[in-house]
């Protein structure tokens, strides 16, 4: 069912070299030219600009690549779904996950995995990233999920889903009406952070160091071992904290906490699977594949967060749909376009806020999502 011509085109578009494309697909170079020519004839467009031995994608080629990758990903998902009907798994899988992942990401994945594979016994142990990797090294767990951006020798890492760390404060506290702080101001406010060994703390330290701010220069009043403890502390004090945005959606909706921008500093990271190099576990590999397959649609996930932040409606779709939504809506509205033609919207109606443009990659599928906050004039 897979269209081999699309596989040829994707490979050629990635390598920008027909010879390398042919080598990777174990076909001849004339065969590559034939498949590309068939696509160009079918759609009556030129996909590559040829200058001697050099290739470059045309604008039509870039659009073709975007859609071809989506189609290829769809074929893979279809194959995966069909395989599930004939696949029976059993055994025991021991998963270790960093605290934030264990609390806010994995439960829904585990619920669906155990429902689909009831004969698999899954156990979950949580700790900070350092503890998760130590458990893997001791063979106490089969698979780890970590928040840290550090990559240690002897472990293999594969990305799972993106995350963003944000500065938060209680809406009832001293900083409840604050919208933004500078890096200089950040060093004067009381802060609650995760404990040493935490992947979250490691990522914060890395980003601040890039801005010439040392952790030692921060006014840290408490270090706690879980995000839930940190949120409770912040709700009952004037302290601020830096936590995963995925952990505070409920508090944003209820109005207990608010996000405060750090001027010139956006802290992004990626949750990753990890396991010792050279160790092969078929059950762990299937769990990784399953988790990637059912992970939340990033546009939906971040729209939920934006809706919680701004307390407003959501519109998504074509330019015409968005124009109608903006024209009819009398309250703040989060909009995100399905294409770059959003520029047809009058810029005065749009204020860039919050998460800006989100670039994600899942397998060969790319997501580029731009969020805007429209406010009535």
> For residue 182, what is the domain's CATH number?
3.40.190.290
Residue 155 has phi, psi (to 5 degrees) of -120, 145
- Say if residue 65's pLDDT is above 60: yes
Residue 185, C-beta contacts closer than 8 angstroms, at least 6 positions apart: none
pLDDT, one tens digit per residue, over 51-63 is 877 889 999 998 8
Domain shared by 168 and 265, yes or no: yes
**Average pLDDT over the chain, rounded to an integer:** 77
Of all residues in the chain, the percent with pLDDT exceeding 90 is: 24
- Say if residue 163's pLDDT is above 60: yes
- Say if residue 18's pLDDT is above 80: yes
- The pair of structure tokens assigned to 238 is 């004037």
pLDDT, one tens digit per residue, over 357-374 is 333 333 333 333 344 444
Domain shared by 167 and 265, yes or no: yes
Q: Which residue has the tokens 């029976």?
A: 88
Residue 316's pLDDT is 47
- The pair of structure tokens assigned to 140 is 């106490």
pLDDT, one tens digit per residue, over 273-325 is 999 887 767 788 889 988 888 765 444 555 555 555 545 454 444 444 444 54
- The pair of structure tokens assigned to 335 is 């909009």
- Say if residue 344's pLDDT is above 50: no
Residue 280, C-beta contacts closer than 8 angstroms, at least 6 positions apart: none
Higher pLDDT, 321 or 247: 247
Between 9-23, 118-132, 302-316, the lowest mean confidence (pLDDT) is in 302-316
First to last CA, the chain: 52
Residue 3, Cβ neighbours under 10 Å: how many?
14
Domain shared by 183 and 265, yes or no: yes
Domain shared by 176 and 126, yes or no: no
Domain shared by 115 and 135, yes or no: yes
Alpha-carbon distance of 198 to 184, in angstroms, equals 24
Q: Give the structural domain span for 177.
A: 163-270
Helix (H, G, I), strand (E, B), or coil: what is residue 361? strand
- Please give the average per-residue pLDDT across 111-139, as a whole number: 88
Domain shared by 264 and 339, yes or no: no
Higher pLDDT, 85 or 217: 217
Vertex 206 angle, CA 205 and 209, to 5°? 80
Residue 38's pLDDT is 92
Of 64, 89, 16, nearest to 282 by C-alpha is: 89
- Say if residue 4's pLDDT is above 90: no
- The pair of structure tokens assigned to 51 is 């200058």
- Say if residue 256's pLDDT is above 50: yes
Q: What is the CATH number of the domain that holds 14?
A: 1.10.10.10
From 25, 51, 84, the end of a domain falls on 84
- Say if residue 341's pLDDT is above 60: no
Q: What's the number of domains the chain is made of?
A: 4
Residue 185's pLDDT is 92
Q: Which residues pair with 165 in a beta bridge?
A: 244, 267
Of 274, 345, 366, nearest to 68 by C-alpha is: 366
Burial class, 256, CB count within 10 angstroms (exposed 0-12 / middle 13-18 / buried 19+): middle
Residue 299's pLDDT is 46
Residue 182 has phi, psi (to 5 degrees) of -85, 170
- Say if residue 338's pLDDT is above 80: no
From 254, 270, 286, the end of a domain falls on 270
Alpha-carbon distance of 148 to 272, in angstroms, equals 8
Residue 60, Cβ neighbours under 10 Å: how many?
15
- Say if residue 46's pLDDT is above 50: yes
Domain shared by 128 and 260, yes or no: no
pLDDT confidence band for 350 (50 / 70 / 90)? very low
pTM of whole model > 0.75?
no
- Is-contact 122 113, C-beta < 8 A? yes
pLDDT, one tens digit per residue, over 73-106 is 677 667 666 766 666 667 788 999 988 889 888 9
Domain shared by 262 and 315, yes or no: no
Residue 304's pLDDT is 56
- Please give the average per-residue pLDDT across 324-336, as a whole number: 47
pLDDT, one tens digit per residue, over 166-216 is 899 999 988 888 888 999 999 999 999 998 888 888 889 988 888 888 888
- The pair of structure tokens assigned to 179 is 């919208």
Domain shared by 225 and 137, yes or no: no
- The pair of structure tokens assigned to 214 is 């040392």
């Amino acid at each position: 069912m897979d269209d081999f011509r699309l596989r040829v085109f994707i490979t050629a578009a990635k390598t920008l070299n027909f010879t390398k494309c042919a080598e990777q697909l174990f076909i001849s170079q004339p065969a590559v030219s034939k498949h590309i020519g068939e696509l160009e004839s079918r759609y009556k467009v030129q996909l590559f600009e040829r200058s001697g031995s050099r290739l470059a994608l045309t604008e039509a080629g870039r659009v073709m690549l975007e859609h071809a990758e989506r189609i290829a990903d769809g074929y893979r998902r279809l194959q995966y779904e069909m395989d599930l009907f004939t696949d029976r798994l059993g055994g025991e899988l021991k998963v270790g996950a960093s605290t934030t992942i264990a609390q806010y990401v994995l439960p829904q994945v585990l619920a669906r995995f155990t429902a689909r594979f009831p004969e698999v016994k899954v156990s979950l142990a949580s700790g900070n990233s350092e503890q998760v990797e130590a458990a893997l090294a001791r063979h106490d767990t089969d698979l780890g999920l970590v928040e840290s951006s550090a990559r240690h020798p002897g472990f293999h890492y594969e990305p799972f889903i993106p995350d963003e760390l944000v500065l938060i404060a209680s809406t009832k506290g001293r900083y409840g009406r604050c919208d933004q702080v500078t890096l200089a101001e950040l060093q004067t406010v009381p802060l609650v952070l995760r404990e040493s060994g935490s992947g979250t703390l490691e990522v914060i330290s890395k980003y601040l160091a890039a801005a010439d701010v040392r952790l030692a220069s921060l006014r840290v009043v408490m270090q706690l071992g879980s995000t839930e403890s940190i949120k409770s502390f912040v709700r009952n004090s004037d302290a601020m904290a830096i936590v995963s945005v995925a952990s505070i959606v409920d508090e944003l909706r209820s109005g207990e906490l608010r996000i405060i921008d750090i001027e010139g500093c956006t802290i992004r990271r990626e949750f990753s699977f990890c396991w010792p190099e050279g160790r092969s576990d078929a059950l762990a590999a299937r769990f990784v594949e399953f988790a990637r397959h059912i992970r939340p649609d990033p546009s939906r996930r971040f729209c939920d967060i934006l809706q919680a932040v701004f307390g407003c409606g959501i519109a998504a779709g074509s330019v015409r749909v968005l124009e109608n939504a903006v024209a009819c809506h009398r309250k703040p509205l989060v909009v995100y376009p399905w294409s770059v033609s959003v520029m047809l919207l009058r810029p005065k109606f749009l204020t860039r806020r919050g998460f800006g443009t989100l670039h994600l990659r899942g397998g060969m599928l790319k997501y580029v999502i731009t969020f805007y906050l429209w406010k009535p004039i």
